[in-house]
Amino acid sequence: MSYKKNIFLLLFIVCVGGLEGQTSMESLPVPATLEQCVDYALAHNISIAKSQLNVNSSVVDRRDAWGAFLPSVTASSNYNHSQGFSFDANTNQRTTSTQQAMSVSAGLSLNVFNGLRDLNNYRRSQLSLAAARYENEKILSDVKLNVVSAYLTVLSAIEYEKVTESQCELSRLQVERMNRLIAVGKNAQGDLYEVEATLARDEQSLVDARNQKTMAYIALRQLLSLDIDAPLEIVPVSYEKLSRVEVLNHTPYEIYVKAMEGLPEMNKARKDVEVASRNLAIARSGYSPTINAGYSWSNSFTFDYRNPATGDPITIGDQWRNNSRHYFQVVLSIPIFNRMSTITSVQHSKINLMMAEYTLNETSLALQQKIEQAYADATSSLQSYRAAEKAAAASAEALRYATAKFEQSKLSAYEYETAKNQLLRSQTDVLRAKYDYIFKTFLLEYYHSQKIKI
């Protein structure tokens, strides 16, 4: 008995542990890497879930289109019970009695030819399914890129907060130093007011930086579809030194050619043109004649039925054999005039085909412009980053020199604050150019390989 209880306890612990493992897999780790954030967004984003439902709906539509090639089969049964005034089934005379009768039937109908409508409809359903899958891939990629952008924005906000914190710390040190100088009579009280004002402005900048970080986290949280009480923290990845990435060794035209071949939005636009072409073929099938073939069988019997001539009862089995009926039919329908319905349907389909072709060209042109812009932005951002780094280094040296002069009372508080602000602007320019370059290279790599290398 003890052995069984131990086995049961062990199984319970394993099951509970498995459930806890599943729960932890469904939650976002704290802190979370960029890859973990992307995976979580793909699993929980509502737009992706809705897109997958569209794919499932297209699968059902394809199955429905395939079913049009199959025959339709029906069966029916009818039971009649009458009481009171009626006509006797044996004598066909007016009588008051109770009669019971039953009939059964079955039928099969097959569409032999309808102007290739069913075939074109099935091929259209296949194309629509492919288009839905490409649309789903596009949404997946959009979510990935949006998460990458939001993640990098948080990283930028974190670094900017550190910059403003260092500025505040430097101002606090100057306030403490000024208090000591005033205490020994080397500086006037007005000098303290100036450095305190500088500290107040730096503290306001720090508040703004922390607010930017909070807003960046909120944007990332919304993309991840996190609950309002769920914790969110990212791993502060450091991009200290940037270099020219491999994708920039390709020309914008080479990236554009690769994007045209593999991007899901381009594939979807091409499938939409093919779908519109099939719709036109389906509309034109309305001009063609249709051929339908059918077969049906029926039988009936009446309870207590008698031979009208002899009055002898006729069994249900005999009636079943005698009343069996078979019907074969082939129906040819030739369209002559259907109140302009086919003509207008064809015209609408032609217009829709032209619209799909224009959309394909428009998508191609927009893609070309995006790639050219992203390439130019990435190249200029890298140059701006390197220039900003030099400017930041020079500003840091200028601030070090200004600090030494200010501590010797050879520099005014205004000039000192100007040097600090120059450094802050330079460091901000470094952050802006750095993360703009990083995201643009992510984007160009996606255009070139249709993959987002995290």
DSSP state of 285: G
Rounded Cα gap, residues 315 and 298, in angstroms: 18
pLDDT at res. 8: 37
Rg (CA), the chain: 40
Q: Is residue 253 part of a domain?
A: yes
Q: What CA–CA distances, in Å, run from 7 to 16, 123, 125, 173, 222?
A: 14, 57, 54, 66, 45
Is this structure's pTM higher than 0.95? no
DSSP state of 234: B
Mean pLDDT, contiguous 10-residue spans, the chain (454 residues): 39 37 61 93 92 96 95 93 67 70 94 93 96 96 94 93 90 84 75 84 92 95 90 85 86 95 95 97 95 95 77 84 92 93 96 97 96 94 91 89 81 81 88 92 93 77
Token pair 């430097």 in the structure block, residue? 170
Q: Is residue 89 part of a domain?
A: no
Contacts with 209 (C-beta within 8 Å, 6 or more apart), sequence order:
157, 160, 161, 163, 164, 165
Q: Is residue 262 part of a domain?
A: yes
Structural domain for 114, as ranges: 29-74+99-449
Q: Is residue 86 part of a domain?
A: no
User: Which CATH number is 179's domain given?
Assistant: 1.20.1600.10
Going by C-alpha positions, the residue among 299, 305, 303 that lies closest to residue 91 is 305
Token pair 């412009």 in the structure block, residue? 369
Q: How many domains does the chain have?
A: 1
Q: Is residue 254 part of a domain?
A: yes
Q: Is residue 280 part of a domain?
A: yes
Strands (E), 10-151: 72-87, 94-113
